[in-house]
Amino acid sequence: MSTPIRDRVYRAGGGPEMSVRGERSEGAGVKLCVDAGPIENGHRVRGIGSCTQSLLGALTPELLSRHGVEMRYLKRTPLEEEVPAGGRFARRSRVAGWIGTGGRLPSRLTMRWRAFAGAVGMAADVEAAGGEVFLSTDPDAIPLSPHFLTIALLYDLIPLRFRGEYLPRHAFVRRANYTWQIRRLRRADHLIAISEATRQDAIELLGIPPGRISVAHLAVDRDRFRPRAQEAARAVVAERFGVDRPYFLYVGSVDARKNIAGLIDAFSRVMESCDAALVMAGEPGKAGDQLRRQLARTPARERIHWTGYVTEEDLPFLYAGSLALAYPSLYEGFGLPVLEAMSCGAPVLTSPLSSLPEVAGEAALYADPGSTPELAAALRRLAAEPALREELRARGLERARRFSWTDTAERVLEVCGAVHAGRVPVRHGRSG
- List, for residues 331-357, the tens digit of each pLDDT value: 999 999 999 999 999 999 999 999 999
Same domain, 150 and 275: no
Cα–Cα dist 55/153, whole Å: 12
- Mean pLDDT value of segment 249-278: 92
Domain-located, residue 393: yes
- Say whether both 371 and 241 belong to one domain: yes
First to last CA, the chain: 16
Residue 23 has pLDDT above 70, yes or no: no
Same structural domain, 56 and 173: yes
Q: Is residue 225 part of a domain?
A: no
Q: How far is CA 397 from CA 44, 77, 251, in A?
A: 28, 37, 18
Residue ranges making up the domain that contains 287: 230-400
Cα separation values, 285 from 143, 189, 340, 393, Å: 30, 34, 21, 30
Q: Does residue 311 sit in the same domain as residue 383?
A: yes
Of 194, 191, 309, nearest to 252 by C-alpha is 309
Distance CA 6, CA 300 (A): 62
- Residues 392, 247 share a domain: yes
Stretch 378-384: mean pLDDT, rounded?
A: 97
264/333 same-domain check: yes
Q: Are residues 12 and 60 in the same domain?
A: yes
**What CA–CA distance (Å, rounded) separates 136 from 152?**
5
User: Which H/E stretch holds residue 199?
Assistant: helix 196-206
What pLDDT digit, counting tens, does each position of 265-276 carry? 999 999 888 999
Percentage, residues of the chain above pLDDT 90: 60
Evaluate whether 181 touches 48 at the Cβ level (below 8 Å): no
